[in-house]
Amino acid sequence: MLRMTSYKPYGVAFGAALALLGAAMIWVISLLPDTAAYAAVGPKMFPRLVGGGLILTGLAVIREAMSIVPGDEDAIEYDVLPILAISAGLIFAAFALERLGWILTATVVFFVTAWAFGERRRLATIAIGLALSGGTYLLFNYALQLSLPAGILRF
């Protein structure tokens, strides 16, 4: 018996976008000059790991989207709005980090991510985001002696 499978085009497109984003990330990191690091692990390692993870996740999403049979009750539905919101938050962070600083940028990203996951208590989310980003700023800048961008707050 020949069983026809259909696919979800949005799932395939999303998986392809993730894989392309990961490949682009690895490519851009490879263009950066090598810099001396304090440890054996250089500054390029983690972006490469994230890029590789994006590629693997994208391929897994494509595989899952291609294996859905019509009428399958276990079919995965993709809610695109949270994905777009989180992506927009991360793109915002890439452009705003130096200008706004770590605390404000991380608070915005935290808020957008929490909203994308369904949290609707705005003031509480902003307060938690400020506390977490402020705490990490203090930890990195003063305890670990690793400076995060201060931005407009000028700590």
CA gap 67, 106 in Å, rounded: 37
How is residue 70 written in tokens? Answer: 């019509």
Determine the pLDDT at residue 4: 42
Cα angle 17-109-76, degrees, rounded to a multiple of 5: 40
Which residues have C-beta within 8 Å of that of residue 30, sequence separation ≥ 6?
Answer: 44
Determine the pLDDT at residue 114: 92
* Span 79-132, pLDDT tens digits: 778 888 888 888 888 888 888 888 899 999 999 999 988 888 999 999 999 999
Mean pLDDT of 22-49: 77
Determine the pLDDT at residue 2: 38
Mean pLDDT of 16-21: 91
Contact 59, 19 (CB under 8 A): yes
**In Å, what is the CA distance from 129 to each residue of 78, 83, 95, 118, 141?**
27, 20, 19, 15, 18
* DSSP conformation letters of 104-129: HHHHHHHHHHHHHTT---HHHHHHHH
Is pTM, for the whole model, over 0.85?
no
Mean pLDDT of 29-38: 71
